[in-house]
């Protein structure tokens, strides 16, 4: 049975991509899904990350996000925690099909850096919660049952007090 060079090349590429995914070295973006982290503080932020449920490391711990900058991380799906000193921890799951859940306390009275977590999508489907603190005001919109779909972006915003 004869195989063309083109067919062999395609098979090799598919196998290489599969091996990289299995090794946790590559996560293809899907449907424009992304996690955006924004630093609205007047100082640089050192971010730490804790991937869960076999999620890839989006960045090395100790990643410094400059003041007044943002960084987007293209993902297909991701589960884990974002941490920075002086701010509440943000934990979330972002599914392959745009389902999402996240946890963030609104009891940030003792936090030096208020943080919020909001879903974005066009359109968001179901009831998608958002939580956090900005400009001295905290907010929480929650939903029972996790009926949040159509999420294309999870946005985490760190603010100055």
Which fold would CATH assign to domain 31-159?
Answer: Thaumatin (2.60.110)
Please, are residues 149 and 129 in contact by the beta-carbon 8 Å criterion? no
For the chain (length 161 residues), average pLDDT per consecutive 10? 40 33 47 91 95 92 96 92 94 87 84 90 81 75 67 92 73
The predicted structure's pLDDT at residue 98:
86
Indicate the pairing of strand 69-74 with strand 100-103: unpaired
pLDDT tens readout for residues 46-92:
999 999 998 999 999 999 999 999 999 999 889 999 999 999 999 98
Rg (CA), the chain: 18
Domain residue extents for the chain: 1-26, 31-159
In the block, tokens 């090349």 appear at 9
The predicted structure's pLDDT at residue 90:
93
**pTM for this prediction:** 0.76
């Amino acid at each position: 049975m004869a195989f063309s060079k083109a067919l062999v090349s395609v098979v090799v590429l598919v196998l290489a991509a599969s091996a990289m995914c299995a090794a946790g070295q590559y996560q293809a973006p899907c449907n424009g899904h992304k996690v955006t982290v924004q630093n609205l503080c007047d100082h640089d932020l050192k971010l730490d990350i804790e991937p869960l449920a076999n999620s890839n490391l989006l960045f090395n711990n100790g990643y410094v996000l400059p003041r007044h900058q943002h960084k987007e991380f293209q993902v297909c799906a991701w589960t884990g925690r974002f941490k920075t000193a002086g701010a509440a921890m943000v934990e979330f799951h972002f599914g392959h099909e745009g389902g999402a859940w996240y946890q963030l306390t609104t009891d940030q009275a003792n936090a030096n850096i208020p943080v919020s977590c909001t879903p974005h999508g066009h359109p968001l489907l179901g009831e998608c919660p958002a939580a956090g603190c900005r400009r001295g005001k905290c907010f929480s919109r929650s939903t029972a049952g996790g009926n949040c779909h159509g999420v294309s972006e999870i946005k985490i915003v760190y603010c100055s007090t």
